[in-house]
Amino acid sequence: MSTINDWIDNEVKTNDVVLFMKGTPTFPQCGFSGQVVQILDYLDVDYKGINVLDNEDVRNGIKEYANWPTIPQLYVKGEFVGGCDILREMFQAGELQDHFKGNGITVRETA
């Protein structure tokens, strides 16, 4: 029998960029998820959004999976990158863009 951990692991490893979030990319349901969506949309990154509010097992499972207590959580090429604060800081410093490019993920060039 597949566990929630196996399901999360599969999502993280089969999608280049995955955002576990509250709500959906078109309708974020928390401010932190909304901020991350804005950053990803601004960079024009292709990603899969997974709404943790749809499934309590996913909501709890993702926190255990990453050993990270908060949502949203961003994964790039199977690797946990961070939550809202980390992503915002990385974005402002230009590090998030470099991280995407270093993993072969196209981002919009920003002036």
pLDDT in tens, 55-101: 999 999 999 999 999 999 999 999 999 999 999 999 999 999 999 99
Tell me how far apart the alpha carbons of residues 39 and 23 are, in angstroms, rounded to a whole number. 16
Domain count, the chain: 1
Q: Which residue segment(s) compose the domain that 18 sits in? A: 4-102
Determine the pLDDT at residue 2.
73
Q: pLDDT exceeding 90 applies to what percent of the chain?
A: 95
What value does the mean pLDDT of the chain take? 95
Q: Answer yes or no: is 50 within a domain.
A: yes
- Report yes or no on 107 lying in a domain: no
List the CATH number of the domain containing 31.
Answer: 3.40.30.10
CA distances, 28 to each of 20, 40, 55, 100 (Å): 11, 13, 16, 22
d(CA 12, CA 79): 8
Residue 108 domain flag: no
